[in-house]
Structure 1
């Protein structure tokens, strides 16, 4: 069930909510949905009926449905698996092929699960949420399915040999939880099983062992987190790597910190004596720690952003001899860690450009060597093919104007990576160039941003420009091929800009922590600084500068609308947080208090209210046109944020449109057609206002 409105304190000392739009928080209330349908009709009438909209939407849909996109594979046993959507399969098919067949230009695929057929058979609206294998080649898998794209999902056991769901197999009820294999006949169950089994943020807080042939109520509780916890719940699993078998449990404390527990062999999970803020990796005999805070061990202080490695057994025995594999600099930060059978691959961002380093244990130490083949202003994502038996990794290479390609690399070889697949050009990129620039924020900080536009761009302020940002949760915005933006914006002659503001992870933990809680304003100052730089350098003018962001980025663009309206000609706000008085009481909001603060604490509300767009709307201030987009099925960021902001802006007589997709979850769309429609709406809105 989706959450409906609940009345909470208006001030830290209590009292009732003084909010005339509170009724819009009732997600499935018929009056609220009637209001949504009316707003949708108004947006459709203005945008979807405009010149060029139908062609734009059709072009975007053709991209999403294209059979020339790369089918990204996952290996299990002798097969490569892939989840795929196209025009014939709007909800998608899960399919497989042999590795040698995959190398062909048009491989033959065998459908394992047809989600559209399943939906018709079961009269459901399932959206694919992923699959868990039991390695090395067990024929049973656990498939997660979501109704309409919500975060809450179910898990069902599926038999690869019979090609059908197991009628008497494991079945997890719908909730924000998970089901993970222990062995062929038992699973770890993390689920909402009734009162007292979820935490403050709505995530399951218990882990249970459920044996085949028993009822779910008989599952033994092996871990229980506190009910007032506001983290992302619990993950429990078993590492079945031969010689390194272990059960582990990750207890999320908030949106950042998590405590790792290891089974002691006697039915207990014991916490590892390592910082909760560190990201912990277990691989074979190794423990790796990605530090988010400085950590002093003996007489050595390891700076935040470092990557440390040691043998797990030694660490558990009290040995604190740690080897440093990476130390951050002012311009370089660790982005990702990938494991293969014999190596560790580090992805490092230097001024937001990717580089790869291979770390190999040698003679009691570690050898580091670069792995070449990364574009100068591009991004590379790595994933192990099979970290138990192989040193092969998938490398996905992308940048703003070069179509994405997939390579296969062997970290144990000096051979160049093997090109496997490459996407075609989905938009015209001849004549486009990419540059990196730096703006200066209010406190003097250099803030990088990428600019994509014509090579001979006239700096006369005439260019319609779309500025995109996020700035939260240590998430980095790296160069990436974006066909929808290319087709719907760059091809029309627009300029596209991505800002790497504080709050993100582009320069590691320090970049994130610089904009937490009472320092949130720095993220907004950074974004405004980029906007001013685009204007002062002649790229565009305020009247021709648009801005877009979603989720935390929706909070960002909501603050651009209410705090910096003079800098923009149009604002797009997607699946946003906007009412920061009530965000912690709505759906998963409580899990983000480490990022924003607790509005029920008086000292916290004193700074939170300075970046709560819903409370910053000024009837007397001029605002640029705005478009709000959200989803009824978003059970992460409550759609009430967008609904109430729309009502408040309408009440103030502002130029604002609103569209709420009935499905889609936090991603906004449940299939390619919905995705193309939502994209076409915001691109048409921006071009109408700026182009």
Structure 2
């Protein structure tokens, strides 16, 4: 009888807790991602908003413009070198899901690659009658024949892994396979994988990522694979890297304690792991001649020698020695470190302008850097380095300069091998770097792009982009990540040539000036990044570039949180705000999907002292009636399994009940990118720019 009463009491307690939660948050039902009631609400909002935005006379032209860029055969086919072949992933009108293909280095370097299809994702998805989107690919080096390929349903972060053979150009029927999960895999040898995956209770962290590393032998079941490493439930995840040098397999396990803090464990095999003495704020980059290469995001004193924040160091796995490979100055930021056959390629920013060096170690243990003579005053990216060679490839671009591809030999000879034709006529378009003064006196850079005649006239329709988090720099690119419409090519074609101004904000939280720029806006200091964005907005108004009636703001993901803060803190500054795949409910963000993994960035809202500062900017809680909110645009994706669509849904529903009008678009597939193919992406991009045209330029053409 006591058991029955206890169970009944527990049931009543659960019901009362659910009722209390619903009372505290009346929009909680919108967190039920696939719930019919929630999806009915989504369909209704989509119908209302799409009918309005798509009816604008500018929409069709903007859609065609976006699609022309995203599916152009003139885009650079960027690829990575592996075993004498350049591998590339390509999407166009005929291959919406994409082709994984390869060409010889010789034909690629000559500017006329002879492509061979390795995997046609469209054909494979059709054959299996599945909505497959290609994800990550992990291959066994140096031969690059045995591969594990990730396929997701509609673009989710969670995916299925299957073994693929690049020589046979086919999936292996009896090969390795993993079920749907946010897994990670690494090849130990041809018949052995090191995996992290969901095997049931206790196998995942509180963030939903693998907590264990298992040794999976060919032919064995995942459930029977022994655990060789186990982290804590409160970790973000455990990640494994295997480096193959001189016929030996070196295993590095990253125990991600938080999103930014890691402990590293090493073994020259699959047992006997020892913790390396690196600081928590260090990032593993690769291995060269038995030395593990790390970048430091904090000062590190080891054996009475201090290595500075932002430096690249080499840790000797055999003797524990530490050597400085590269030191960044106060106005520099190391952005990419790639390991070649016998040297290291480092790409860095210098006052947000890209540069690169090749660093080699002398027999006396000294590292010497040689500059690579790439174009200046733009964005430099490493396209390929390593893969069995010391040759490397780089791209260069700026907001008005189309991408160019450069081949750099081991001797640092630089040759341009391809370039993209212009996607828009940049005649009369100028780009300037300016600085605004934030609330605490910090000088914050930003880029401004527009027609010279429009800038001189002043008071122009202006869209200001920002992100400000997770060590992500905002760079003045031409066309790099098509999911972001603020790039020079898309914005130039769809906005600037129509008389608009585009602004890129280098606010704190990114890595434009190294780890210190990021750490300045962490946790209790989040407001600094918001203040930086506001300072740029006010500078644009004070210098006559625009006015509050013609100023819009755009951001996605963490930038969506930034937009939510702008909406609730300074609605008087903006006439339009585009809020994409956002975090907005910072009280519950750590309970939704991958949210717990970001507590190193934002803090833990379940700790009263940390909620005290988070609550001061959490947009969802701060929405209220009677404010001069502009008519915002929310967009998200039902299939986003990284940032929960409930953030956007709940904020929109609350605004509706508070009496505000808004636009809302939720794509049913597409993952965190918000779209699953180029047509969907062009459609959403056109919605965003027609929204700004409607709000900042007035009636249609």
Per the normalisation by structure 2, the TM-score is 0.93
Residues 146-200 of structure 1: CA distance to partner in whole angstroms, max 9, x if unpaired? 1111100111011223332111110011101122211111111211111221110
Partner of 2:580: 574
Partner of 1:269: 273
1:422 to 419, 424, 429: 419
Partner of 1:651: 657
Once residues 228 and 315 of structure 2 are traced to their aligned partners in structure 1, the CA distance between those partners, rounded to angstroms, is: 28
Once residues 508 and 17 of structure 1 are traced to their aligned partners in structure 2, the CA distance between those partners, rounded to angstroms, is: 44
Partner of 1:585: 591
Partner of 1:359: 359
Q: Is the counterpart of residue 405 in structure 1 residue 404 in structure 2?
A: yes
What is the CA-CA distance between 1:448 and the residue it aligns to?
0.4
Once residues 93 and 671 of structure 1 are traced to their aligned partners in structure 2, the CA distance between those partners, rounded to angstroms, is: 12
Once residues 543 and 396 of structure 1 are traced to their aligned partners in structure 2, the CA distance between those partners, rounded to angstroms, is: 38
Once residues 643 and 21 of structure 2 are traced to their aligned partners in structure 1, the CA distance between those partners, rounded to angstroms, is: 24
Residues 125-164 of structure 1: CA distance to partner in whole angstroms, max 9, x if unpaired? 1111132221222533211111111100111011223332
Structure 2 spans left out of the alignment, 5+ residues: 1-13, 479-486
What is the CA-CA distance between 1:325 and the residue it aligns to?
3.4
Match runs of 1:92-107 below 5 Å: 92-103=98-109, 105-107=111-113
Match runs of 1:433-444 below 5 Å: 433-444=430-441
Alpha-carbon distance change, 341 to 103 in structure 1, aligned in 2, over 3 angstroms: closer
Partner of 1:3: none
Partner of 2:341: 341
CA contact (8 A) 2:641 2:672 kept: yes
Alpha-carbon distance change, 139 to 264 in structure 1, aligned in 2, over 3 angstroms: closer
Alpha-carbon distance change, 515 to 619 in structure 1, aligned in 2, over 3 angstroms: same
Q: Is the counterpart of residue 292 in structure 1 residue 297 in structure 2?
A: yes
What is the CA-CA distance between 1:545 and the residue it aligns to?
0.9
Q: Is the counterpart of residue 610 in structure 1 residue 599 in structure 2?
A: no
Partner of 1:451: 448
What is the CA-CA distance between 1:640 and the residue it aligns to?
0.1
Once residues 253 and 386 of structure 1 are traced to their aligned partners in structure 2, the CA distance between those partners, rounded to angstroms, is: 29
- The answer to which of 512-521 and 330-339 deviates more is 330-339
Alpha-carbon distance change, 17 to 77 in structure 1, aligned in 2, over 3 angstroms: farther
Partner of 2:428: 431
CA contact (8 A) 1:406 1:420 kept: yes
Partner of 1:306: 311
SS at match of 1:520: helix
SS at match of 2:495: helix
Once residues 163 and 339 of structure 1 are traced to their aligned partners in structure 2, the CA distance between those partners, rounded to angstroms, is: 27
CA contact (8 A) 2:465 2:503 kept: yes
Once residues 279 and 562 of structure 2 are traced to their aligned partners in structure 1, the CA distance between those partners, rounded to angstroms, is: 30
Once residues 433 and 684 of structure 1 are traced to their aligned partners in structure 2, the CA distance between those partners, rounded to angstroms, is: 23
What is the CA-CA distance between 1:507 and the residue it aligns to?
0.7
CA contact (8 A) 1:559 1:613 kept: yes
Residues 326-382 of structure 1: CA distance to partner in whole angstroms, max 9, x if unpaired? 334332222221221222222221211112222211131334344243443211111
What is the CA-CA distance between 1:546 and the residue it aligns to?
0.8
Partner of 2:603: 597
CA contact (8 A) 2:283 2:295 kept: yes
Residues 413-438 of structure 1: CA distance to partner in whole angstroms, max 9, x if unpaired? 142x1212211111111111111100
CA contact (8 A) 1:632 1:665 kept: yes
Once residues 264 and 68 of structure 1 are traced to their aligned partners in structure 2, the CA distance between those partners, rounded to angstroms, is: 46
Q: Is the counterpart of residue 326 in structure 1 residue 340 in structure 2?
A: no
Partner of 1:131: 137
Residues 484-516 of structure 1: CA distance to partner in whole angstroms, max 9, x if unpaired? 222211121211110100111111111111111
2:89 to 83, 90, 102: 83
CA contact (8 A) 1:295 1:304 kept: yes
Q: Is the counterpart of residue 62 in structure 1 residue 68 in structure 2?
A: yes
CA contact (8 A) 1:8 1:582 kept: no
Once residues 286 and 535 of structure 1 are traced to their aligned partners in structure 2, the CA distance between those partners, rounded to angstroms, is: 52
What is the CA-CA distance between 1:271 and the residue it aligns to?
1.4
Once residues 305 and 360 of structure 2 are traced to their aligned partners in structure 1, the CA distance between those partners, rounded to angstroms, is: 24
Once residues 430 and 664 of structure 2 are traced to their aligned partners in structure 1, the CA distance between those partners, rounded to angstroms, is: 34
SS at match of 1:85: strand
Q: Is the counterpart of residue 242 in structure 1 residue 246 in structure 2?
A: yes
What is the CA-CA distance between 1:74 and the residue it aligns to?
2.1
SS at match of 1:525: helix
SS at match of 1:347: strand
What is the CA-CA distance between 1:265 and the residue it aligns to?
4.6
What is the CA-CA distance between 1:15 and the residue it aligns to?
6.9
Alpha-carbon distance change, 120 to 249 in structure 1, aligned in 2, over 3 angstroms: same
Partner of 1:478: 475
CA contact (8 A) 1:9 1:16 kept: no
Residues 50-94 of structure 1: CA distance to partner in whole angstroms, max 9, x if unpaired? 102112101211211111111111223242221111101111111
Count of aligned pairs between the two proteins: 673
Once residues 513 and 361 of structure 1 are traced to their aligned partners in structure 2, the CA distance between those partners, rounded to angstroms, is: 31
Alpha-carbon RMSD across the aligned residues, in angstroms, is 2.0
Once residues 264 and 367 of structure 1 are traced to their aligned partners in structure 2, the CA distance between those partners, rounded to angstroms, is: 25
Alpha-carbon distance change, 49 to 617 in structure 1, aligned in 2, over 3 angstroms: same
Structure 1 spans left out of the alignment, 5+ residues: 1-6
Once residues 687 and 462 of structure 2 are traced to their aligned partners in structure 1, the CA distance between those partners, rounded to angstroms, is: 17
Once residues 585 and 447 of structure 2 are traced to their aligned partners in structure 1, the CA distance between those partners, rounded to angstroms, is: 30
Once residues 632 and 596 of structure 1 are traced to their aligned partners in structure 2, the CA distance between those partners, rounded to angstroms, is: 24
Partner of 1:252: 256
CA contact (8 A) 1:24 1:644 kept: yes
Q: Is the counterpart of residue 523 in structure 1 residue 521 in structure 2?
A: no
Once residues 584 and 636 of structure 1 are traced to their aligned partners in structure 2, the CA distance between those partners, rounded to angstroms, is: 11
Partner of 2:677: 671
Partner of 1:31: 37
CA contact (8 A) 1:339 1:384 kept: no
Once residues 500 and 228 of structure 2 are traced to their aligned partners in structure 1, the CA distance between those partners, rounded to angstroms, is: 56
What is the CA-CA distance between 1:454 and the residue it aligns to?
1.7
- The answer to which of 545-554 and 271-280 deviates more is 271-280
1:466 to 454, 460, 463: 463
What is the CA-CA distance between 1:309 and the residue it aligns to?
2.7
Partner of 1:394: 393
- The answer to which of 59-68 and 356-365 deviates more is 356-365
Once residues 655 and 460 of structure 1 are traced to their aligned partners in structure 2, the CA distance between those partners, rounded to angstroms, is: 32
- The answer to which of 362-371 and 482-491 deviates more is 362-371
Once residues 436 and 48 of structure 1 are traced to their aligned partners in structure 2, the CA distance between those partners, rounded to angstroms, is: 35
SS at match of 1:478: coil
Partner of 2:191: 185
2:497 to 491, 496, 499: 491
Once residues 133 and 54 of structure 2 are traced to their aligned partners in structure 1, the CA distance between those partners, rounded to angstroms, is: 26
Alpha-carbon distance change, 165 to 593 in structure 1, aligned in 2, over 3 angstroms: same
Alpha-carbon distance change, 138 to 575 in structure 1, aligned in 2, over 3 angstroms: closer
Residues 586-605 of structure 1: CA distance to partner in whole angstroms, max 9, x if unpaired? 00000111111111111111
Once residues 17 and 294 of structure 2 are traced to their aligned partners in structure 1, the CA distance between those partners, rounded to angstroms, is: 41
